[in-house]
Amino acid sequence: MQELARIGDALKTAKDHYWATEVEVQRLSAAAWATHAKGNHDEALTLMRSAADMEDKSEKHAVTPGRLVPARELLGELLLEVNRPADALEAFKTSAKHEPNRFRGLYGAGKAAALAGNFAEAKSYYAKLVKLSEKADGEREQIIEAKAFLASNELVWEAPRGRQ
């Protein structure tokens, strides 16, 4: 985190505001997870929200590749870690507006929806994840989990049409 702060300061001095912001998002994200690991979950969430909000306000340069892990996805993962699945789902949904159809985003949204008791939404996200990954070699644990969820929720009762 100290090295990221040093790099960020150098970029600010060079008036490279875009990359200085990108580095600050990374520094805040790292600080959030380090703070979470120390058990200070509220401060960790504050740091991660700051990183996500900062990243949301920063437009990605057209010639740069996509972010490896968007800060809003990291916020969703952190919210799952502290057992706040409904809030995590909202973070994953917000991330998907800017970074759609990402493996980690779809998996996180599916898991968050399932833990929040929204099985229809979980099924939708997990189905998208499985479809996205159907041509991949091997099976990642997230795909196995998604397929197991889909199989166990295959027979969801629905009221006959016309009845409430």
Structural domain total, the chain: 2
How far, in Å, CA of 135 to CA of 2, rounded?
41
- Tell me if 42 is assigned to some domain: yes
Other C-beta atoms lying within 10 Å of the C-beta of residue 161: 5
| Interior/surface letters 113-122, b for 16+ CB within 10 angstroms, e for the rest | bbbbebeebb
Residue 11 covered by a domain: yes
Last residue of a domain, one of 59, 81, 102: 59
Q: Residue 149 belongs to what H/E stretch?
A: helix 141-152
In which domain, by residue range, is 9 found?
1-59
Q: Indicate which CATH number applies to the domain containing 96.
A: 1.25.40.10
Determine the Cα–Cα distance for residues 48 and 88; give it in Å rounded to an integer.
12
The reply to whether 52 and 120 lie within a common domain is: no
Mean pLDDT of the 128-138 span: 85
Q: Indicate if 55 and 85 belong to the same structural domain.
A: no
Query: Is the model's pLDDT at 14 over the cut of 70?
Result: yes
**Per residue in 103-129, pLDDT tens?**
999 999 999 999 999 999 999 999 999
